[in-house]
Amino acid sequence: MPASHEVSARKSLRAPIGTRDVLWPESERWEALVAAFARRARLAGYGLLLTPVLEDAGLFRCAVGDESEVLRKEMYELTDRGGRTLALRPEGTAPVVRAFVQHRPPVPWKVWYVTPAFRYERPQAGRYRQHHQVGVEALGSDDPDLDVEVIALAAGFYVELGLVGVDLSLGSMGCSADRRAYVSALREHLAERREMLCDEHRERFELNPLRVLDCKRSQCVAVTADAPTISDFLDEPCATHLARVREGLDALGIAHRLDSRLVRGLDYYTRTTFEFSAVALDAAQNAVGGGGRYDKLSEAIGGPPTPGIGFGIGIERLLLACDAEGCFNAAPSAPDVFVVDTTGGAAARDLSAELRGAGLTALRAYDDRSIRAQLKLADRSRASYAAIVGPREIEDQTVTVRSLREGKQTTVRREELAEWLRRELLD
Ligand code: HAM
């Protein structure tokens, strides 16, 4: 017997705050979204990678940066029974690079993933504690054409879903030396105006001045309006890289805006960074995808020097953007046939298995319901046909097929049923 407090806990068990269940038919939209993404990724040579949801927490400390918001406030950490400190992945890139370092596959190594990500955020529309991403990562080349390929993959995906209002911002974080010089100039700018910063950044700006550029509070927005920009600090190779990426995007007709203040929330970026925002969503949660280069990440976690680039797209946000634009409705599919059995259930058992074996979606009722109840369920299922089997049909080796759209009824030989249905459904 469970203890009484366990019983009362059970009564009120719900999905944790900031997480949600995705039930059918909504889940069918997810299925269609992931299938479309997988197809697109495969066309460009990306293979599916699966990695554990749990990783050594140290991985994210090295990769994401101790001063990033994600790590400082949002990571779910736990100690397992063996005393190991593990984390629920807050994002998808570090685990991919960890898998690369562990397995050393030949480069270029191009992978795609679909994964939950966990961040202890303040839940609101479009911001969850467990969200889901589809994404790609490509390791082993710093060719700017790869940046273009990766950005084009995401841009084409939004178009495929029917979204029109998606803006692309492009930036560059430069190389380590550029970044150091820039961060130092920015720190100086902020230090001179320290008293004008918001409370949080007055105390913390020195640790990671880049965060201040991303602060939405009016004091910080005012202070950073005339702050130095990274574009003034890019060395020749980084500036050429950025120019070549822009040239490639132009060649492929991908509209973009250069944003020298683009700050991504994760600290591993070098050179190219980008973010896609949905015009139809509220500005605070309108990023429907983002990514960039992380040419030093492999080394940072103890691997060989290996450049890389990728992006992650938030599935929930993307669907919110689709809802706001009224696109990608992906109506739930209707079954092909509903088997109605008035002989006790054995015929429905056998015939539905047979039809499924022939590749048709076949549903049936259970618990020996009346023919009326079964036909009602068939109607409710939105199946195209009801395949009715009674004692007479068993005797004659036939099936009575009723079109649930037109109400017309006909008799089909049982061994010809699957073929007959396929032909009619095609018509
Ligand atoms: P990120 O910008 O932190 O990047 O997340 C990618 C996308 O996930 C965001 O653009 C947004 O659509 C969605 N997202 C993030 N947090 C939440 C949340 N709390 N609730 C709902 N959706 C959310 C990354 O995670 C990088 N790993 C992307 C990347 C891949 N960079 C290089 N490769």
Residue nearest to atom 10 of ligand 1 (CA): 289
Q: Which residues, judged by CB distance below 6 Å to any ligand atom, belong to the binding site of ligand 1?
A: 91-93, 119, 121, 126-128, 131, 133, 135, 137, 265-266, 287-292, 310-314, 316-317
Kindly give the distance from the C-alpha atom of residue 53 to the centroid of ligand 1, in angstroms, as a whole number. Answer: 16
Check whether 9 has a pLDDT greater than 80: no
Residue nearest to atom 14 of ligand 1 (CA): 314
Between 12 and 87, name the one with better pLDDT. 87
Residue 10's pLDDT is what? Answer: 61
Residue 365's pLDDT is what? Answer: 97
Instruction: Work out which ligand 1 atom sits closest to the CA atom of 93.
Output: 27
Strands (E), 239-307: 257-258, 270-278, 287-293
Kindly indicate the confidence band of residue 68, based on its pLDDT and cuts at 50, 70 and 90.
confident
Residue 341's pLDDT is what? Answer: 98
Kindly indicate the confidence band of residue 32, based on its pLDDT and cuts at 50, 70 and 90.
very high
Check whether 173 has a pLDDT greater than 50: yes
Nearest to 380 by CA among 338, 425, 426, 331: 338
Residues 6+ apart with CB under 8 A from 15: 21
Kindly give the distance from the C-alpha atom of residue 289 to the centroid of ligand 1, in angstroms, as a whole number. Answer: 6
Kindly give the distance from the C-alpha atom of residue 44 to the centroid of ligand 1, in angstroms, as a whole number. Answer: 22
Of 4-18, 148-162, 218-232, 265-279, the least confident: 4-18
Select from 69, 91, 167 the residue to mutate for testing ligand 1; criterion: most ligand atoms less than 8 Å from CB: 91
How far from 172 is each of 35, 46, 77, 206, CA to CA, in Å?
31, 24, 31, 21
Nearest to 382 by CA among 334, 342, 350: 334
Per-residue pLDDT tens over the stretch 276-302 = 999 999 988 999 999 999 999 999 999
Per-residue pLDDT tens over the stretch 263-277 = 887 889 999 999 999
Mean pLDDT of the chain: 94
State the DSSP H helix or E strand holding residue 47, giving kind and residue range, or none if neither: strand 47-48
Nearest to 313 by CA among 48, 93, 134, 168: 134
Q: Would you state the structure tokens that stand for residue 351, as one six-digit string?
A: 């015939």
User: Measured between alpha carbons, how far is 286 from 278 in angstroms, rounded to an integer?
Assistant: 5
Kindly give the distance from the C-alpha atom of residue 135 to the centroid of ligand 1, in angstroms, as a whole number. Answer: 9
Kindly give the distance from the C-alpha atom of residue 22 to the centroid of ligand 1, in angstroms, as a whole number. Answer: 19
Kindly indicate the confidence band of residue 216, based on its pLDDT and cuts at 50, 70 and 90.
confident
Kindly give the distance from the C-alpha atom of residue 91 to the centroid of ligand 1, in angstroms, as a whole number. Answer: 7
Kindly indicate the confidence band of residue 3, based on its pLDDT and cuts at 50, 70 and 90.
low
Residue nearest to atom 23 of ligand 1 (CA): 314
Nearest to 90 by CA among 318, 314, 320, 300: 314
Q: Would you state the structure tokens that stand for residue 400, as one six-digit string?
A: 């009575």
How much is the average pLDDT of 393-417? Answer: 97
Kindly give the distance from the C-alpha atom of residue 312 to the centroid of ligand 1, in angstroms, as a whole number. Answer: 5
Percent of the chain with pLDDT over 90: 85
Highest mean pLDDT out of 33-42, 176-185, 275-284:
33-42
Select from 266, 286, 296, 315 the residue to mutate for testing ligand 1; criterion: most ligand atoms less than 8 Å from CB: 266
Cis before 25 (ω within 30): yes
Q: Tokens 């990783």, residue?
A: 55
Instruction: Work out which ligand 1 atom sits closest to the CA atom of 92.
Output: 27
To the question of pTM greater than 0.85 for the whole model, the response is yes
Torsion sign over Cα 314, 319, 323, 328: positive
312: phi then psi, degrees, rounded to nearest 5: -125, 140
Q: Would you state the structure tokens that stand for residue 308, as one six-digit string?
A: 């890389």
Residue 272's pLDDT is what? Answer: 97
User: Measured between alpha carbons, how far is 35 from 33 in angstroms, rounded to an integer?
Assistant: 5
Residue 204's pLDDT is what? Answer: 85
Strands (E), 315-415: 337-341, 362-364, 385-389, 398-403, 409-413
Per-residue pLDDT tens over the stretch 69-110 = 777 789 999 999 999 999 999 999 999 999 999 999 999 999
Instruction: Work out which ligand 1 atom sits closest to the CA atom of 126.
Output: 21
Kindly give the distance from the C-alpha atom of residue 236 to the centroid of ligand 1, in angstroms, as a whole number. Answer: 30
Residue 341 forms beta bridges with which residues? Answer: 389
How much is the average pLDDT of 359-377? Answer: 97
Residue 22's pLDDT is what? Answer: 97
Kindly give the distance from the C-alpha atom of residue 287 to the centroid of ligand 1, in angstroms, as a whole number. Answer: 8
User: Measured between alpha carbons, how far is 385 from 337 in angstroms, rounded to an integer?
Assistant: 5
User: Measured between alpha carbons, how far is 402 from 370 in angstroms, rounded to an integer?
Assistant: 17
Kindly indicate the confidence band of residue 330, based on its pLDDT and cuts at 50, 70 and 90.
confident
Residue 1's pLDDT is what? Answer: 47
Select from 317, 318, 319, 320 the residue to mutate for testing ligand 1; criterion: most ligand atoms less than 8 Å from CB: 317
